[in-house]
Each structure stands twice: as C-alpha cells, then as structure tokens.
A = this chain, B = another copy of it.
C-alpha cells in the first residue's frame, strides 16, 4: 500500500466513509455493494471503488464490502486507535460546544486539558474536567506532551499562541479562530475551520434556485 501517494481529496473523503460505515453497522447492516454505498453517500460507484482501491481495495467482486471490516480498516488508516493527546484553548461558547459536541475518542484523540486566559473561567470546570489558566500551558505541555491543540480563541490571540505551542511540542492545530493559521514548517499540520463557508454554499444554492424559477416563470 503506497499510502504516500494518496491524493488529499481522497483523504478528505475517508472520515465520511468511516462515519457512514459506522452508521450502517449500527443499523445491523453487514454487507453493502459499492452501488448501494454510492447511492446512499451521493457519490458514484466507480468513485467509491477508486477511493477504496487506493488502500488496497476491500471489496470482492459481486459480493460487496463487509461493513465492519471496511470501517475498521479505514479507522486504522486514519489512525483512530492511536489516542493523540489534545488540549483545547478558549472556553467560550464555541470552545464549550466543541468540547461537548465532538467525540474526540472517535477521532483518535483524547482531550487531556482545557485552558482559558480569563481568570474567571480558569479554575472552574467543564463537566468535571478542570479548566486551567493559559499561564500554566508550558508546565502542562512539558509534563503531558500534547500533540494537538484546538484553538477557540479570538483571531488576534491565535498566531502568538500557536507559535508558543509549537515551541512546546504541539504539531497539529484545529483552528476555529477566524483568521487562518500558516506555518512555514510543513511538518506543522493545520485545519483552519471556516463554518461560514458552508453557509455561503447554501446562500448560493438558494440564489441559483431563484434564478432558475425566474427564468422559468
């Protein structure tokens, strides 16, 4: 398996396959053909076959995919069982929502620390997990060695904080602050999340529909 050559767009689809197969398994579905899987996922069957062939291919011609085996395999490719140590910084509404809403273990991560720079927030807890002051980040990172940081801090605070965290050994950032983070060092991984982009896609879709119905009417 030449994993290095897999295109980023295939990699971006893997979490979706993993999630989808998990839902099928929960429903008790044991096998699925690439045709059925494609219909349910809104992809073409040949796309699915191509994607999964990148990883050696798990299907048997005329027999379909074993749902659980395929999900397990994709989970291993994604590294879900490795429990990356993660910290989350910024416990405003968004940080709290991420901490509560996202299943870190299902994403191969373990949330080991929460931090906020506001002294009225630090010292409290979130569902029993203590919120530390950001002043204590250095000591915490030296001891606990988190690899991944979730940034839910204001845009202006994010770049300096990220630099500090890189110096403390953090190698991956899940960035919810409004500005994009960039690093010259390609070994530092960043996912800049822009929630608004998908809302704009809806806005565009509504406009297209209006244009169509106007031109028809």
Contact = CB atoms under 8 A, between A and B. Distances in A.
Interface of A: 3-4, 11-12, 14-16, 18-19, 23, 77-80, 82, 84, 92-94, 96-98, 100-104, 106-109, 147-148, 171-174, 176, 179, 187, 189, 191, 193-209, 211-212
A201 to B, nearest CB: 6
Contacts of A12: 197, 201
Contact of A93 (B82, B93, B147): B93
B196 A195 contact: no
Contacts of A176: 101
Given A14-B200, A205-B172, A100 B107 contact: no
Given A15-B196, A93-B101, A195-B101, A80 B203 contact: yes
Contacts of A104: 199
A88 to B, nearest CB: 11
SS class of chain A's interface: helix, strand, loop or mixed?
A: helix
Contacts of A96: 93, 97
A103 B196 contact: yes
Nearest to A147: B206
6 contacts: A4-B208, A14-B200, A78-B204, A108-B200, A174-B199, A191-B201
A206 B79 contact: yes
The 10 closest A-B pairs by CB, nearest first: A79-B207, A15-B200, A108-B203, A93-B97, A94-B97, A15-B197, A97-B97, A107-B199, A189-B205, A93-B96
- Copies of this protein in the assembly total 2
A15 B103 CA distance: 27
Contacts of A211: 3
Contact of A102 (B19, B195, B207, B208): B195
A23 B103 CA distance: 32
Contacts of A172: 202, 205-206
A206 to B, nearest CB: 6
A191 B195 contact: no
Contact of A199 (B3, B191, B201): B191
A55 to B, nearest CB: 12
